Amino acid sequence: PEMVGGSADLTGSNNTFVKGTPAFDAPDYAGRYVHYGIREHGMAAAMNGMALHGGVIPYSGTFMVFSDYSRPAIRLGALMGVRVIHVMTHDSIGLGEDGPTHQPVEHLASLRVIPNLLTMRPCDGVETAECWEIALNRAEGPSLLALTRQGLPTYRDAGQQNMCAYGAYILADCHNPKVTIFSTGSEIEIAMNAKKMLDADGLPTRVVSVPCVELFHAQDGTYQQSLMCNDSIKVAVEAGVRQSWDNFIGPHGIFIGMKSFGESAPYQELYKHFGITPEAIVAAVKAKAAK
């Protein structure tokens, strides 16, 4: 009964509507779902107000690229420390044919640097549930979930422990890693396929899922170092800009991601066009290993 949802005219795309939830509308204001219209800033500001009033946990959905319209209210929510949940879908070039106006490129990096905002990008249904749990339990500030448009495979079973609470964890390991791949969201699938290829070529590879950079940086140094494998070749894979990844891979690490705005095409073709593929990872690793 605490939850009050909504969307900025994108309910069908964001999937933020819970079946059977009555709408908040005149003359009945007992509803739990708000149709905000195309008012991203107003939506985020209204959620801040609801959270400040107390008694409810507001959440809402829009496309990730439209976080630009919401940003002043997201920032103030972080400053005030209110429990608000922003669900941002269509989080990369993976949205496909809508093209570069709707494809986030710099957004993840810019959201991660807002103090007291948790930006979480889960790779599958299990991580999404864990990130949702983190957001629900986080009373000291807002949370943001970055979700894909395209369907994704599931890589692990849900356990008793919320692994996303560590910010990053070993998703797939090996003995004596020669390569460590850090990745998030939809690009985990690409990283896992690259691991298979590298393992087969005699370069044992560890894949680290990084659903929340901020939570990882909050862990103690011992845990952070346990994931790093400092003597391995380090790779970061994300369909966004490089910023926020140098803390993982260093200035000389390999980054597989975006260096420009996107294009309009089916998402499978876009990933090939921008070189975000298992083959590109393998080629870059082998080139570095040969030096």
Q: How far is CA 188 from CA 47, 117, 185, in A?
A: 32, 23, 6
Q: In whole angstroms, what is the distance from residue 118 CA to residue 143 CA?
A: 5
Q: In whole angstroms, what is the distance from residue 152 CA to residue 195 CA?
A: 17
Strands laid side by side in the 233-237 sheet: 169-172, 205-209, 179-183, 233-237, 254-256
> Do the bridges between strand 57-63 and strand 33-35 make them parallel or antiparallel, or are there none, so unpaired?
unpaired
Peptide bond before residue 142 is cis, with ω within 30 degrees of 0: no
The neighbour count for residue 22, using CB atoms within 10 Å, is 10
- One of 2, 40, 97, 238 is an active-site residue; which one? 40
Q: In whole angstroms, what is the distance from residue 110 CA to residue 84 CA?
A: 18
Tokens 């985020």 appear where? 44
Whether 140 is catalytic is: no
State the catalytic residues.
Answer: 40
